[in-house]
Amino acid sequence: MPGRWQDPPATRTPNRPGDRTAAQNGERRLEQRTEIFSGPLPPPAILRQYDEIQPGFAERLLRLTEDEANHRRQVTARAQRYELFETTLGQVFGLLVALAALGATVWLGVLGLEAAASIVGGTTIVGLVGAFIAGRQRSDK
């Protein structure tokens, strides 16, 4: 039946006494074996083979993997500290800008410049609300 899987000729046995096997016909068979591992370390059997080739190599590989993991943790911790500092600094400066705008609004109101006071106060409120919304959308991602 065309399109159906059939055993390769080398694995079939002759059906009739006159049939020849693939090996008898001079055909060759190629096999391929692939092993894949994932992670920072190879399986223990391969580590043993590394040690047979170069004594102490498995220990060096383990130490290298541990050093890399420690470095990655340090970089991550440093990035988190910087992000916290940056967030805190942004909040402090945002508070200072809001307080300065509030002070300017009150001062303009006391001077009798109600239109200027409402413009400064209104734009400050709109800007702060926009900043909070943008910050929330960025943190949700």
More confident residue, 94 or 64: 64
Stronger pLDDT, 139 or 91, i.e. the higher one: 91
Alpha-carbon Rg of the chain, whole angstroms?
37
Structure tokens at 44: 């223990």
Highest mean pLDDT among 9-23, 39-53, 57-71: 57-71
What tens digit of pLDDT does each residue of 96-117 get?
A: 988 898 899 999 999 899 999 9
Q: Taking 80 as the threshold, does the pLDDT of residue 13 lie above it?
A: no
The mean pLDDT value for 49-69 works out to 92
d(CA 102, CA 93): 14
* pLDDT above 50 (res 1): no
Residue 73 has pLDDT above 90, yes or no: yes
pLDDT digits (tens, 9 = 90+) for 19-53: 666 666 667 778 888 888 888 888 888 889 999 99
Which residues, including other chains, have CB under 8 Å from residue 105's CB and lie 6 or more apart? 117, 118, 120, 121, 124
DSSP states of 100-141:
HHHHHHHHHHHTT-HHHHHHHHHHHHHHHHHHHHHHHHHHH-
CA distance 74 to 26: 61
Q: Does residue 78 carry a pLDDT above 90?
A: yes
Backbone angles phi, psi at 87, to 5 degrees: -65, -45
The two tokens of residue 51 are: 């040690």
Q: What single letter denotes the amino acid at residue 10?
A: A
Rounded mean pLDDT of the chain? 83
For the chain, the first-to-last Cα distance in angstroms comes to 55
* Residue 4 confidence class, pLDDT cut points 50, 70, 90: low
- pLDDT value for 95: 87
Give yes or no for a contact between 105 and 123, defined as CB atoms under 8 angstroms apart: no
